[in-house]
Amino acid sequence: MGVEIRVEGLTKSFGRQTIWQDVSLTLPAGEISVLLGPSGTGKSVFLKSLVGLLKPDRGHIWIGDKDLPYLPEHQLYETRKLFGVLFQDGALFGSMNLFDNIAFPLREHTKKSESEVKRIVMEKMELVGLIGAEHKLPGEISGGMKKRAGLARALVLDPAILLVDEPDSGLDPVRTAYLNQLIVDLNAQIDATFLIVTHDINTARTVPDNIGLLFRRELVMFGPREMLLSSEEPVVRQFLNARRQGPIGMSEEKDVSELEAEARMGLEVGKLPPIAPQLMPSDGRVRRAQQPPGAWCAAHGITPPPGSFVDDLGRNWAEEWPRYVAAMGPVASGHGQGGPQPAGGMH
Ligand SMILES: Nc1ncnc2c1ncn2[C@@H]1O[C@H](COP(=O)(O)OP(=O)(O)OP(=O)(O)O)[C@@H](O)[C@H]1O
């Protein structure tokens, strides 16, 4: 079961370089949030600060009544056990086979017997589709397999919070799509609080419940997916639509003259593109945290752009949703595998 993380006024610098300042946001329990931002805006630094690997200059990271940056070492050690982290490169030990890599946190942090370790490792390897690869070394497997092995290792202590740093880096679009589906399925199954750092627009548009954007050393916006995807804020529109036109330049931000030149040439960002439907768990049942398509827009009086919530089969999920939920049964709540499959489902 996930826990809420409340970040208040967080600021981090290295020497005289301020990475970001006054970042405040709440990662809701059990929901998937994505953190976006141009390269070098400090997304990885944010992730490492959340798990206590880096200490912020000021601000708070509340998990329940514990303020992470100010915990004494032994309490920090205990609180860290709530987290599973998938680092960009999987951070696997090159000299250990996949089984031993995945077993590592269990052997290091628990007193479980070897038979219990084996049961858990095999369960997680099955979850990420790695059965049969137990004896392979990291150097003998593909980038996608390394990510999945890193994910299995992040899951062995049954984390309440899962942090994922650029799951898509180094993966082709098809492997990224599979990994995204795996992330959504995992969230439905373990109900943990997820934070994913990514550059991949398709991931950002279809996977999370919430999106945040770091730019110019600040958190520009953080909120429900539909809020960001219907936002008129120039930097949000530019980033989520992967455009050159807008405030983000090659080396982070454009200067005033560049922006004026763009405006003179009429190079403003065009109409908002439709809002894509959110990925569904592949067993067909709805995640506990998942909102009906269009719910946020409707609640806030926002008319989504034409074509929103329509999938590649032409179904409009804002209309189909009540029928879908009625057919599929109740919302998933830490359910097991093997629920009903949607006919031609929305995967
Ligand atoms: N331990 C450190 N000491 C000093 N500077 C650091 C350290 N870690 C990160 N930085 C600096 O912080 C800035 C932000 O780095 P970070 O890796 O968090 O960016 P990012 O947004 O994740 O980038 P990318 O999307 O390219 O991975 C960079 O300028 C980096 O050089």
Model confidence over 262-305: pLDDT tens digits? 555 555 556 778 999 999 888 888 898 899 999 999 999 999 99
Residues 6+ apart with CB under 8 A from 32: 183, 184, 187, 194, 196, 207, 208, 209, 210, 289
Residues 6+ apart with CB under 8 A from 122: 131, 134
User: What is the structure's pLDDT at 284?
Assistant: 80
Residues 8/50, Cβ–Cβ less than 8 Å:
no
**In this structure, is residue 168 part of a structural domain?**
yes
DSSP for 63-118, please give it. Answer: ETTEEGGGS-HHHHHHHHTTEEEE-TTTT--TTS-HHHHHHHHHHHH----HHHHH
- Taking the centre of ligand 1 as the mean of its atom positions, its distance from the CA of residue 74, in whole angstroms, is 27
Distance CA 286, CA 76 (A): 34
Residues 6+ apart with CB under 8 A from 161: 2, 3, 5, 27, 63, 82, 83, 84, 192, 193, 194, 195
Model confidence over 85-141: pLDDT tens digits? 988 766 889 899 999 999 999 998 889 999 999 999 999 998 888 899 899 999 998
Model confidence over 62-78: pLDDT tens digits? 999 999 999 998 999 88
Give the residues surrounding ligand 1 with Cβ less than 6 Å away: 14, 19, 37, 39-45
Residue 180's domain spans which residues? Answer: 5-223
**In this structure, is residue 87 part of a structural domain?**
yes
**In this structure, is residue 54 part of a structural domain?**
yes
CATH code of the domain containing 14: 3.40.50.300
**In this structure, is residue 316 part of a structural domain?**
no
Count of domains observed in the chain: 1
Cα separation of the two ends of the chain? 24
Question: Between the CA of residue 222 and those of 84, 144, 237, 289, 293, what are the distances in Å?
Answer: 22, 29, 14, 17, 19
Which ligand 1 atom minimizes the distance to the CA of 42?
18
Question: What Rg, from alpha-carbon coordinates, does the chain have?
Answer: 21
| pLDDT-derived band at 334, boundaries 50, 70, 90 | very low
> Residues in the chain, how many?
347
Question: Between the CA of residue 322 and those of 187, 248, 284, 292, 316, what are the distances in Å?
Answer: 22, 40, 14, 8, 12
Pocket test for ligand 1, best of 18, 43, 57 (most atoms within 8 A of CB): 43
Q: What is the mean pLDDT of residues 192-213?
A: 93
- Taking the centre of ligand 1 as the mean of its atom positions, its distance from the CA of residue 19, in whole angstroms, is 8
Residues 80/109, Cβ–Cβ less than 8 Å:
no
Pocket test for ligand 1, best of 11, 17, 19 (most atoms within 8 A of CB): 19
Distance CA 221, CA 164 (A): 20
**In this structure, is residue 29 part of a structural domain?**
yes
- Taking the centre of ligand 1 as the mean of its atom positions, its distance from the CA of residue 214, in whole angstroms, is 13
**In this structure, is residue 333 part of a structural domain?**
no
Half-sphere exposure of 333 (CA within 13 A, CB side): 3
* SS3 state at 295: helix
Place of tokens 């550059």: 199
**In this structure, is residue 252 part of a structural domain?**
no
- Taking the centre of ligand 1 as the mean of its atom positions, its distance from the CA of residue 41, in whole angstroms, is 7
**In this structure, is residue 248 part of a structural domain?**
no
- Taking the centre of ligand 1 as the mean of its atom positions, its distance from the CA of residue 35, in whole angstroms, is 14
